[in-house]
C-alpha cells in the first residue's frame, strides 16, 4: 500500500464504538476516529462519516422497556440519534450535517441523485456529512438493515476513492479468531467469492451492532465493483488510523475492480430493489445488457408482482437464471395485457409505438451471478 492520495473517503463506525456499554454515547473510542477525520481533512481529503449507534445510544433511556419491541427500538433510535450527533459534533471544530436515509431513498433514482447532490454540496462547503439509517421510520420493506451495506451505497453515491469499515478485530481472518488461535489475517483480497464469504461466517450473536463480518464483505463487494478501495480495520485502536495515514495497511485491503461499473449500472445492481419479475422463455439468450430492444412481449411467459413505470424489475428465465435488473418502461398491468395478447401483430405494433419494455440506460447484467 502506497501513501494514500485520496480525494474522498467514507468511514463507517459501528454501534460498539459509539456506545460500548449501551449506557449512552462514549467518546473513548471516538477520539482517535475524530483525529483521523481531522487529519484527512487537513491533507485535503474530503470525508463522509457513516455512523451507527442511535439505538444503542438511546437504550439507557428505556430501562424498564422490552428492548426487542419494534416501537421501543424506534423510540430508542429517535432519542439516541440526537445524543450521537451531539457527541460527534463536540469532537470537531468544523460544522457537521445529519443525513438520515432509508432504502426507499436510495432505491428511487430521483431521490438517490438528490442524495448525491446534497453530499457534494456539503463537502464543497467543508461540512462533514454524518449519515445513518433512519431507524425511527424504517420498516422491513424500507430498511437497508445494516450500516455496513449502507456505507458502501453512500461511498458509491459520493464517488469515494476509499471505504474504511471499522470492526472489533483487525480484519478478515481465514477462520474466526475468537474461536481459533491459529486464525490468520488476510492482508489483501483480490477477488470476493464464496470462499471469502465462508471465512466471514454469520452475523454476530448478542452483539451491540446489527451486522457481522459477512455484512462487511457484502459492503466490500459493492464498493470494489465501483472501483473503491475498501479496508476492514480494527476501529478500537488508534494505531489502525495512524497506519492508514502513513500509507500502511492495518487490516484487510479489498482491491477494487480494474474496470469499475458505471455509476448508473452500479446503482441498478447494488442499490435498487426489484419490485417485480418478468419471466422469459428458457431458450432466450439475447444480451439484454447491450440491447434492450431484444426483450419483446413474445419472449415473456409470466409477469410476477406489481410494479409501475420506472420501477426496477428482475428479468429471469423459467429455470430461475437471473439475466438482468432493469428499469421498466411498462407497468405490470400493461405488460401482462400485452404479453397475453394472442394477436402478435397487435403486440408488435404497440411496442413499436411505445418503445422497448426495459430501458437501455438502466440495465445491470446478472448472468454471472
- 56 and 114 part of one domain: yes
Q: Which residue has 421510520 as its cell numbers?
A: 137
- 67 and 187 part of one domain: yes
Per-residue model confidence as pLDDT tens digits over 137-172: 876 655 666 889 999 999 999 999 999 999 999 999
Per-residue model confidence as pLDDT tens digits over 182-202: 999 999 999 999 999 999 875
- 244 and 282 part of one domain: no
Percent of the chain residues topping a pLDDT of 70: 89
Radius of gyration of the chain (CA): 22
CATH number at residue 209: 3.40.1160.10
Tell which wins on pLDDT, 251 or 65. 251
Percent of the chain residues topping a pLDDT of 90: 53
Tell which wins on pLDDT, 260 or 234. 234
- Residue at which a domain ends, from 266, 290, 323: 266
CATH number at residue 312: 2.30.130.10
Residue 275's nearest CA partner among 146, 151, 109 is 109
pLDDT score of 207 more than 60: no
- Residue at which a domain ends, from 248, 266, 284: 266
**Residue 3 located in a structural domain:** no
- 237 and 262 part of one domain: yes
C-alpha separations of 233 from 66, 237, 248 in Å:
33, 9, 12
**Residue 249 located in a structural domain:** yes
- 204 and 344 part of one domain: no
**Residue 116 located in a structural domain:** yes
- 159 and 245 part of one domain: yes
Per-residue model confidence as pLDDT tens digits over 95-106: 999 999 988 899
Tell which wins on pLDDT, 271 or 10. 10
**Residue 1 located in a structural domain:** no
**Residue 279 located in a structural domain:** yes
**Residue 119 located in a structural domain:** yes
pLDDT at 238: 95
- 96 and 237 part of one domain: yes
pLDDT at 69: 82
**Residue 2 located in a structural domain:** no
- 44 and 101 part of one domain: yes
- 220 and 324 part of one domain: no
The pTM score is 0.85
Domain region containing 361:
274-365
- 260 and 279 part of one domain: no
pLDDT score of 369 more than 50: no
Per-residue model confidence as pLDDT tens digits over 77-97: 999 999 999 999 999 999 999
- Residue at which a domain ends, from 266, 301, 316: 266
Give me the long-range contacts of 215-218 (CB less than 8 A, separation at least 24). 215/145, 215/146, 215/148, 215/149, 216/148, 216/165, 216/167, 216/172, 217/172, 217/192, 218/148, 218/149, 218/152
pLDDT at 38: 97
Do β-strands 358-365 and 252-254 pair in parallel, antiparallel, or remain unpaired?
A: unpaired
Tell which wins on pLDDT, 143 or 114. 114
Could you give the number of structural domains in the chain? 2
pLDDT score of 209 more than 50: no
Per-residue model confidence as pLDDT tens digits over 7-42: 999 999 999 999 988 788 999 999 999 999 999 999
301: Cβ contacts below 8 Å, ≥ 6 apart: 279, 280, 281, 318
Tell which wins on pLDDT, 212 or 232. 232
**Residue 43 located in a structural domain:** yes
- 334 and 252 part of one domain: no
Summary mean pLDDT of the chain: 87
- 19 and 141 part of one domain: yes
Per-residue model confidence as pLDDT tens digits over 305-355: 999 998 999 999 988 888 889 899 999 999 888 878 766 676 677 777 777
Per-residue model confidence as pLDDT tens digits over 274-308: 999 999 887 776 666 656 677 888 788 899 999 99
Amino acid at each position: 500500500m502506497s501513501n494514500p492520495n485520496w480525494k474522498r473517503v467514507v468511514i463507517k463506525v459501528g454501534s460498539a464504538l459509539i456506545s460500548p456499554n449501551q449506557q449512552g454515547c462514549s467518546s473513548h473510542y471516538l477520539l482517535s476516529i475524530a483525529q483521523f477525520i481531522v487529519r484527512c481533512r487537513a491533507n485535503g481529503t474530503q470525508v463522509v462519516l457513516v455512523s451507527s449507534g442511535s439505538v444503542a445510544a438511546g437504550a439507557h433511556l428505556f430501562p424498564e422497556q422490552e428492548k426487542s419491541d419494534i416501537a421501543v427500538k424506534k423510540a430508542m433510535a429517535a432519542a439516541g440519534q440526537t445524543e450521537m450527533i451531539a457527541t460527534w459534533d463536540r469532537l470537531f471544530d468544523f460544522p457537521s450535517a445529519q443525513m438520515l436515509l432509508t432504502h426507499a431513498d436510495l432505491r428511487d433514482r430521483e431521490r438517490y441523485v438528490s442524495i448525491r447532490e446534497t453530499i457534494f454540496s456539503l463537502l464543497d462547503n467543508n461540512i462533514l456529512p454524518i449519515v445513518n439509517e433512519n431507524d425511527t421510520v424504517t420498516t422491513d420493506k424500507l430498511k437497508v438493515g445494516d450500516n455496513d451495506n449502507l456505507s458502501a451505497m453512500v461511498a458509491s453515491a459520493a464517488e469515494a476513492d476509499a471505504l474504511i469499515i471499522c470492526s472489533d478485530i483487525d480484519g478478515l481472518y481465514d477462520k474466526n479468531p475468537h474461536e481459533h488461535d491459529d486464525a490468520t489475517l488476510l492482508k489483501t483480497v483480490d477477488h470476493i467469492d464464496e470462499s471469502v464469504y465462508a471465512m466471514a461466517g454469520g452475523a454476530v450473536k448478542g452483539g451491540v451492532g446489527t451486522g457481522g463480518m459477512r455484512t462487511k464483505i457484502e459492503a466490500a463487494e459493492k464498493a470494489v465493483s465501483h472501483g473503491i478501495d475498501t479496508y476492514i480495520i480494527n476501529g478500537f485502536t488508534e494505531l489502525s488510523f495512524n497506519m492508514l495515514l502513513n500509507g500502511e495497511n492495518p487490516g484487510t485491503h479489498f482491491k477494487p475492480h480494474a474496470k469499475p461499473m458505471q455509476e448508473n449500472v452500479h446503482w441498478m445492481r447494488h442499490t435498487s430493489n426489484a419490485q417485480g419479475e418478468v419471466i422469459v422463455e428458457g431458450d432466450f439468450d439475447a444480451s439484454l445488457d447491450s440491447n434492450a430492444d431484444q426483450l419483446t412481449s413474445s419472449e415473456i411467459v409470466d409477469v410476477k408482482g406489481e410494479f409501475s413505470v420506472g420501477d426496477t424489475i428482475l428479468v429471469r428465465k423459467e429455470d430461475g437464471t437471473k439475466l438482468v435488473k432493469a428499469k421498466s418502461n411498462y407497468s405490470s398491468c400493461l405488460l401482462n395485457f400485452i404479453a397475453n395478447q394472442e394477436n402478435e401483430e397487435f403486440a408488435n405494433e404497440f411496442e413499436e409505438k411505445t418503445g422497448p419494455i426495459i430501458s437501455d440506460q438502466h440495465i445491470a447484467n446478472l448472468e454471472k451471478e
